[in-house]
Chains A and B, each alone.
Chain A
Amino acid sequence: QKEVEQDPGPLSVPEGAIVSLNCTYSNSAFQYFMWYRQYSRKGPELLMYTYSSGNKEDGRFTAQVDKSSKYISLFIRDSQPSDSATYLCAMIGISSGSARQLTFGSGTQLTVLP
């Protein structure tokens, strides 16, 4: 079983829809939770990160972390065709060992249809 599980999709939504992307994880040592966006043939771009449980909002993007359930989400409001990309969740812990490196989900491919 992978440490981080993410539904690969693909996910297609109409423009303006609210998008929900999710990841689950098994390593309780993870403390920071990130979301990256990756366009085709590009490197991943850091969208936002949160520490421990809670919500964080940045424009149309909201990240949620529920450490008790080991579940994180990214919501995109008023989705745009330019949001079409692969979204990757990632996690890291500051303790030693395997948690001290970015561990990624497999990515969800999102298409926003005009």
Chain B
Amino acid sequence: KAGVTQTPRYLIKTRGQQVTLSCSPISGHRSVSWYQQTPGQGLQFLFEYFSETQRNKGNFPGRFSGRQFSNSRSEMNVSTLELGDSALYLCASSYNSGSAEAFFGQGTRLTVV
């Protein structure tokens, strides 16, 4: 069974640009959650999508957005990048919304210069 796939693995962007990250969940899983991981703040919840609907949202500015497609694949977008957006972005896949069994991808390492 294939795991959670995140693309790309690494990204370097310039301040002010925008970026789109992609996450393909485990087959059959309908919930995708996104997290930002930094050394100072640890893992912080961004948002969760279930059946193409945003179910929950963390405390991040509106520059962070996401969506989910009918095949459960999800994308997150960050507009007007700031240096502080440099982080490891992780997505987690689970069968149902709010499930204790969440499986993470390898993450996308975003560096903003």
Contact = CB atoms under 8 A, between A and B. Distances in A.
30 contacts: A32-B100, A34-B100, A36-B104, A42-B106, A42-B107, A43-B4, A43-B104, A44-B90, A44-B104, A46-B101, A49-B100, A88-B43, A90-B43, A92-B100, A100-B55, A100-B97, A100-B98, A101-B33, A101-B48, A101-B58, A101-B98, A102-B35, A102-B43, A102-B102, A103-B45, A104-B35, A104-B43, A105-B42, A106-B42, A107-B43
The contact size tier of chain A is 20 to 34
B interface SS class: strand
A43 B106 contact: yes
A103 B33 CA distance: 12
Nearest to A92: B100
A51 interface: yes
Contacts, number: 55
A100 B106 CA distance: 23
Interface of B: 4, 6, 33, 35, 42-43, 45, 48, 55-56, 58, 90, 92, 97-107
B34 to A, nearest CB: 11
Shortest 3 CB-CB distances between A and B: which pairs?
A32-B100, A43-B104, A104-B43
Contacts of B103: 46
Interface of A: 32, 34, 36, 42-46, 49, 51, 88, 90, 92, 94, 100-107
Contacts of B105: 43
Nearest to A44: B104
Contact of A51 (B43, B100, B107): B100
Given A42-B107, A43-B90, A49-B100, 4 more contacts: A92-B98, A101-B58, A102-B45, A103-B45
Contacts of A49: 100-101
Contacts of A51: 100
Contact of B98 (A34, A43, A94, A103): A94
B100 A101 contact: no
B102 A104 contact: no
A46 B103 CA distance: 7
